[in-house]
Amino acid sequence: MIIELDEFTRVEGIGKAEIVVEDGTVKEARVKILEGPRFFEVLTLGRSYWDVPDLEARICAICYVAHSVASVRAIENALGIEVPPTVEKLRELALWGEIIESHALHLYLLALPDIFGYPDAISMIPKHGELIKEGLTIKAFGNTIRELLGGREIHGINIKPGGFGRYPREEELEGIAKHAESLVKFARRIVGIFASQEPRGAKAEIPMVTSEYLWGDELIVGEDRIQYIELDEVPVNYSFAKHTYYKGKPIFVGALARLLLKEKYIQGEAGRLLDTYKDKIESRYVIYNNLAQAIELVYALERVAELSNKIASEGIEKGIVEPEEKSGEGIGYVEAPRGVLVHHYRIEDGKVVWSNTITPTAFNQGMMELSLLEDAKKMYGSVPEESLKKKLEEIVRAFDPCISCSVHFVKL
């Protein structure tokens, strides 16, 4: 017997799941990513390295900055481009803006209805309209940062190899800092709400992050430092997204992984909130990825205020750094809102000849199935089937999947 979870609601993209039951026992869970392959790896081939980040930004409207930054970092690593500190700080600021936009979207509009028992955020407005308004205000602020640094709210074209097409003015950054400070009180409210969730899903036994908070030259998996080629990517016949394993076990990426492995970075009000709910975060249940996002949202706002003021006071070094080489191979690791993102290119005479992209949702596929399996085993037979489906879909949403990002060209 197969219990079918129809197309997931309140997630980005098209996916569903199946729970396989044999002789009254839950045996298997399958997450079926049904959105068609996007072929971005093929689309980059033969193109000038200069144009590739603009193309990669079209993979996703929600997290285009992460794709742009991962792309330019891979290109810069391949061609020996070293950018000045100002460029690195502005890229960090852009990524924090994207985390603010994406986390606010997920927490307030997609996951919050699960907490209060509503089918969607619009149904919450009569009773919880103030919360929804706060979430939309925070989300809009994240988009303001993305537009300032990426050139557009979606599919920006301003983040370039060696720098930016347009640099922000000091007064624009000072305005960003003041706005961020004013929103911390709103974000703080949502943390306690998500801390109320009961532990569910599998435990994130093998979290994976980049070696620095938002990027790095290595990946940290548990206690190991590796390159992504040491992971096992496995295609499955029921999904357009591959599964990824480390030493035969599923990995987990995202805000929960970051808080587990990068606690030392979290300061200020976010640090105090992390201390308050440390037991829940350290329990590693994937449902607490929601709580981790809420804490990280507070940290993102605090970091944006600090970073914007710092860049404005130091002054902005403008320009584009030209490449030293025309050929080479490079990897770009970036923390997208949903976790580790990889872009990898080989470039010859200034044109991409080989390309690979792995997204957070693809990394999380195995853990998503394990979480559905464990919860289905606990609940099957004790709750009505429709209630079971609803509870399992809440687990899927806790991963904050971006399904459109996860489907790429696979050669079988």
Buried b (16+ CB within 10 A) or exposed e, 93-121: bbbbbbbbbbbbbbbbbbbbbbbeeeeeb
**Residues 81-97 pLDDT 10s:** 999 999 999 999 999 99
* Contacts of 51-59 spanning 24+ positions with Cβ under 8 A: 52/345, 52/352, 53/159, 53/160, 53/161, 54/157, 56/343, 56/357, 57/150, 57/155, 57/156, 57/157, 57/159, 58/155, 59/357, 59/359, 59/404, 59/405
Question: Same structural domain for residues 49 and 31?
Answer: no
Q: In this structure, are residues 68 and 57 in contact, taking their beta carbons and an 8 Å threshold?
A: yes
407 pLDDT above the threshold of 60: no
- CA separation for the pair 203, 286 (Å, rounded): 6
Question: Same structural domain for residues 123 and 28?
Answer: no
Instruction: Compute the average pLDDT of residues 59-69.
Output: 91
Question: Same structural domain for residues 29 and 56?
Answer: no
- CA separation for the pair 275, 266 (Å, rounded): 10
35 pLDDT above the threshold of 70: no
Question: Same structural domain for residues 27 and 41?
Answer: no
- Domains identified in the chain, total number: 2
Q: Encoding tokens for residue 50? A: 């200069």
Instruction: Compute the average pLDDT of residues 147-161.
Output: 94
Question: Same structural domain for residues 47 and 195?
Answer: yes
- CA separation for the pair 407, 216 (Å, rounded): 24
**Residues 87-143 pLDDT 10s:** 999 999 999 999 999 999 999 999 999 999 999 999 999 999 999 999 999 999 999
- CA separation for the pair 51, 346 (Å, rounded): 15
Contacts of 46 (CB under 8 A, 6+ apart): 351, 352, 353
**Residues 170-221 pLDDT 10s:** 999 999 999 999 999 999 999 999 999 999 999 999 999 999 999 999 999 9
- CA separation for the pair 296, 361 (Å, rounded): 19
Q: In this structure, are residues 37 and 406 in contact, taking their beta carbons and an 8 Å threshold?
A: no
Count CB-CB contacts under 10 A for residue 144: 18
Q: In this structure, are residues 60 and 71 in contact, taking their beta carbons and an 8 Å threshold?
A: no
Which residues sit opposite 383 in a β-bridge?
Answer: 380
- Which candidate, 45, 52, 76, 37, places its Cα nearest to that of 355? 45
- CA separation for the pair 122, 411 (Å, rounded): 42
- Which candidate, 362, 363, 332, places its Cα nearest to that of 347? 332
Has residue 405 been placed in a domain? no
250: helix, strand or coil: strand
- CA separation for the pair 396, 1 (Å, rounded): 21
Question: Same structural domain for residues 72 and 125?
Answer: yes
According to DSSP, residue 108 is labeled I
Phi, psi for residue 360 in degrees, rounded to 5 = -55, -40
- CA separation for the pair 390, 373 (Å, rounded): 14
Question: Same structural domain for residues 170 and 194?
Answer: yes
Q: In this structure, are residues 335 and 219 in contact, taking their beta carbons and an 8 Å threshold?
A: no
Q: In this structure, are residues 345 and 52 in contact, taking their beta carbons and an 8 Å threshold?
A: yes
**Residues 290-343 pLDDT 10s:** 999 999 999 999 999 999 999 999 999 899 999 989 999 999 999 999 999 999
Instruction: Compute the average pLDDT of residues 46-62.
Output: 91
Has residue 157 been placed in a domain? yes
Please report the pLDDT score of residue 412 as a whole number.
40
Question: Same structural domain for residues 210 and 180?
Answer: yes
- Which candidate, 355, 395, 354, places its Cα nearest to that of 373? 395
Please report the pLDDT score of residue 203 as a whole number.
97
- CA separation for the pair 392, 312 (Å, rounded): 46
Which structural domain, as residue segments, surrounds residue 217?
37-363
Start-to-end Cα distance in the chain: 29
Has residue 411 been placed in a domain? no
Summary mean pLDDT of the chain = 93
Question: Same structural domain for residues 96 and 244?
Answer: yes
38 pLDDT above the threshold of 70: no
> What is the pTM assigned to this prediction?
0.95
Helices (H), 105-120: 112-116
Where does residue 384 rank: exposed (0-12), middle (13-18), buried (19+ CB within 10 A)? exposed
Q: Give ∠ CA 3-4-7 in degrees, rounded to 5.
A: 160
Please report the pLDDT score of residue 134 as a whole number.
97
Has residue 46 been placed in a domain? yes
pLDDT bracket for residue 409 (50, 70, 90): very low
Question: Same structural domain for residues 95 and 202?
Answer: yes
Has residue 404 been placed in a domain? no
Greater confidence, 124 or 153? 124
Percent of the chain with pLDDT over 90: 82
Which residues sit opposite 334 in a β-bridge?
Answer: 215, 341
Helices (H) and strands (E) in the chain, counts: 15, 15
Please report the pLDDT score of residue 7 as a whole number.
83
Amino acid at 294: A
Has residue 409 been placed in a domain? no
Question: Same structural domain for residues 146 and 198?
Answer: yes
Q: Encoding tokens for residue 248? A: 């035969």
Instruction: Compute the average pLDDT of residues 374-397.
Output: 93
